[in-house]
Amino acid sequence: MLNLYIVRHGQTEWNLERRFQGWLDSPLTEHGVESAKQLKQHLKPHRFHHCVSSPSPRASRTMELILSEHHGGYKTDERLREINLGPWQGMKHEEIEVQFPEQLEIFYNHPENFWLSDAETYHDVYERVNGFLNEQVTTASKKSEPHNVLVVTHGVTLMMFQLIMDGKPLKELSEYTVAPNTQVHHYAYNEDRFSKK
């Protein structure tokens, strides 16, 4: 059996400013650091066989803060990055509302049709997250005991994890919301399907 514990990175300065981050980055706030430390205490009883983070500094820093000594190190995986939003990265939400109103409406309400120059589509994110999940399932299937994996990723990427593990099509991504920072989402894969714990 596979146990996936998926976490969104700690709060960042750009989260507070409502700036789209994508593949750009901003530092964790004091609250982001403290909430990651609190999460470390919450996860301490768990034994993780594999810890993997997005390579974005806000995610890898969160992983470093929540790992207890007995968990050992972690790896990074490009497939866990946030959606690349091209020209929107670094812009405030209200700026995008003014400059790209139609595309922003599609971004939120019609994810299967979203397209922006020099950016990823939701289809791109779906493919890389699905590939990561399939790899974890294959690895766990070779283990005789439950395989526990800790993942630190991003808002949209975490939504995509949930969508895929819930078995829903991409057009229903608009029914999901971005998870709070440092919130844990536990899914288990057993008997050929994922279930939320």
Q: Which domains does the chain have, with CATH numbers?
A: 2-196 (3.40.50.1240)
Active-site annotation holder among 9, 71, 147, 154: 9
The mean pLDDT value for 10-29 works out to 98
**pLDDT above 90: residue 96:** yes
Q: What are phi and psi of 148, to 5 degrees?
A: -105, 125
- Residue 82 appears among annotated catalytic residues: yes
For residues 143 and 184, give the distance between their C-alpha atoms in angstroms, rounded to a whole number. 24
Weakest-pLDDT range from 24-38, 62-76, 91-105 = 62-76
**pLDDT above 90: residue 181:** yes
Contacts of 13 (CB under 8 A, 6+ apart): 26, 27, 28, 29
H or E element in which residue 51 lies: strand 50-53
Q: How distant, in Å, are the alpha carbons of 126, 142, 160 from that of 145?
A: 29, 9, 27
Active-site annotation holder among 71, 82, 147, 154: 82
